[in-house]
Amino acid sequence: MSYYFAIIGTQDNPLFEYEFGTSKQGGDGQARFSEQARHLNQFVLHSSLDIVEEVQWTNGQLYLKVIDKFFNNYISCFMTGGNVKFLLLHQPTATAAGATRNSTSVGANPTSPQTEEAIKNFFNEVYENYIKAIMSPFHKVNMEIRSPVFRQRVAAAGRKYL
């Protein structure tokens, strides 16, 4: 299972990107995207923004769950109060998806309640750290988040829940 996480600003500008792999079921936390998939990931994520715009005004939850699917890529979304989007692209590895179709493990089934819950926890933890970042008086809207500590925190949340 590989993940591509991005924070998208209110002008659809990327504020933060991070890719990682699952740490569950003995995963080593490394993303297994091919170079080609990597380019595609950004495209897929970005094209789901249109759907976010539709959903965001009918669902007031912060966590909007899986909002889009492109072949084997699932996009989960979390909207902050300030309308910044957290998008997580998750791509179950072909073998995992095939071999354990009924598995409830986070890696295998992108839309199972367990996976939804795990992603929710991941988003919530990122949200808390995101708020700390934007609280700084020097932070301006749509400013890129470059703090290495923030990146470590996102990585830790990924390891913990995904």
Q: Name the site residues for other proteins (rule: CB under 8 A).
A: 10, 12-14, 17-19, 38-39, 42-43, 46-47, 56-58, 60-62, 79-83, 127-141, 144, 146-151, 153
Q: Is 105 or 120 the residue whose CB approaches other proteins more closely?
A: 120
- Which strands sit side by side in the sheet containing 85-91, from one edge to the other? 14-21, 2-8, 85-91, 73-79, 63-70
Minimum distance of other proteins from residue 101's CB (angstroms): 30
Minimum distance of other proteins from residue 79's CB (angstroms): 6
> Please, what is the angle between helix 113-135 and helix 148-161, to 10°?
160
Q: Using CA atoms, how far apart are residues 98 and 94, in angstroms rounded to an integer?
A: 6
Q: Is 68 or 108 the residue whose CB approaches other proteins more closely?
A: 68
Any idea of the CA torsion for 101, 48, 148, 146, to the nearest 10 degrees? 170
Do residues 44 and 52 touch, judged by C-beta distance below 8 A?
Answer: no
Q: Is 13 or 114 the residue whose CB approaches other proteins more closely?
A: 13
Minimum distance of other proteins from residue 10's CB (angstroms): 8
Q: Is 80 or 112 the residue whose CB approaches other proteins more closely?
A: 80
